[in-house]
A = this chain, B = another copy of it.
Amino acid sequence: MYIRNAWYVAAFPREVGERPLARTLLDEAVVLWRLPDGRPIALEDRCCHRSLPLSMGRVVGDRLQCGYHGLEFDAAGTCVRVPGQATIPPGARVRAFPCVERWGFIWFWPGDPDDADPALIPNWWWATHPDWAINPGPVLYVRCNYQLITDNLQDLSHLAYVHTRTIGTGAIVDFPVKTEREDGLVRSTRWTVDSPAPPLFATASGYGDRPVDRWQIVETTPPCHTLIHAGCALAGVADRCGPPDGAGIHIKVLNAPTPETSGASHYFYAHCWNFRQHDADLKTLMFDEFKKTFEEDVDLLAAQQAMLDRAPGATQIDINVDAPGLACRRMVAAAIAAEADAAPRRA
């Protein structure tokens, strides 16, 4: 069902403060909290004594205290105090998940802790680089399987039908998509050349009504992280092989939809840009327009999932724009199969 040996986003840093945060991630009840030094901790959210969610308790120093009988757990999930008795029963511990804060997100690793190498976290350096501005999004709760979100991000032709108010234009669908499959990466590229910019880009770039060349380069890596290189330049400036270094406006959209269950996702996203970085009005505009755009997808994806649930075996036809999404699904399926294959050998 899921790739387990991988980093997933568990929360935005702003969500984990003095009070523990409860969140279901990959079907697991997880509680997120912080040590006094700020380090985020992810534990199983079920007291090993009488099953109260530990997220109903409170942080006491470097321990999480259960809100029912006061048992205390350290960062490794070990019970280190039982009120009213001197000894700790054997087996008094909860599961601890590797947990790291990086690039403006808190990541957790639901698989084998021994494999949890932080170097495997996607290199989303724009998020913390001084030349780039960033807007972390809200956490969108989407009632769909996380792979529908990858499909959605890897097929930006839907902008022409779903997001005409913000980032869509009808011109998009007239240009073909190139799909590239590399080891652990699916990339789709669409150049929409010599066309009007969509509303948000026309405003943000200052190009107004002038025709632009627009690029959308969408890179998905397992388990479900999609980096979008988006932008546009005045028509004829870019070389149409890759986004130009100096010219045009550049936006990086960081997408991390984490499965809550097989039928619902916590969708974390942020967008970074390298122009008018200190323009507060633009920052607000970007935040609002992206939010409006993504929320249009939320309703659509939930309706899609609901219909899939109603007719689980129904045939679906494929069209040209599905190629990158299908490549992503194959990539994820292969990784899940590889984990299933490796499991007995480890045991």
Contact = CB atoms under 8 A, between A and B. Distances in A.
A37 interface: no
A70 interface: yes
A320 interface: yes
Interface string A51-94: 11100100000000111111100000000001111000101100
Interface stretch (A112-120, A130-138, A223-231, A309-317): A309-317
Nearest to A79: B317
A321 interface: yes
Interface string A81-111: 0111100010110000000000000000000
A194 to B, nearest CB: 17
A185 interface: no
A30 to B, nearest CB: 12
A84 B157 contact: yes
Interface residues on A, range: 35 or more
A176 to B, nearest CB: 7
Contact of A304 (B52, B70, B155, B300): B52
Most buried by B among A48, A84, A155, A173: A84
A83 B231 CA distance: 23
A319 B158 contact: no
A183 interface: no
B66 A308 contact: no
A125 interface: no
Contact of A314 (B51, B92, B173, B321): B51
A315 B47 CA distance: 10
Contact of A157 (B69, B162, B174, B303): B69
A319 to B, nearest CB: 5
Contact of A68 (B68, B89, B304): B304
A84 B171 CA distance: 10
A279 interface: no
B52 A303 contact: yes
Given A53-B307, A84-B319, 12 more contacts: A46-B310, A51-B308, A52-B300, A52-B304, A65-B161, A67-B161, A69-B157, A70-B173, A84-B174, A84-B176, A91-B317, A92-B317
11 contacts: A46-B310, A49-B318, A49-B319, A50-B316, A52-B300, A56-B303, A67-B162, A68-B161, A68-B304, A69-B321, A70-B173
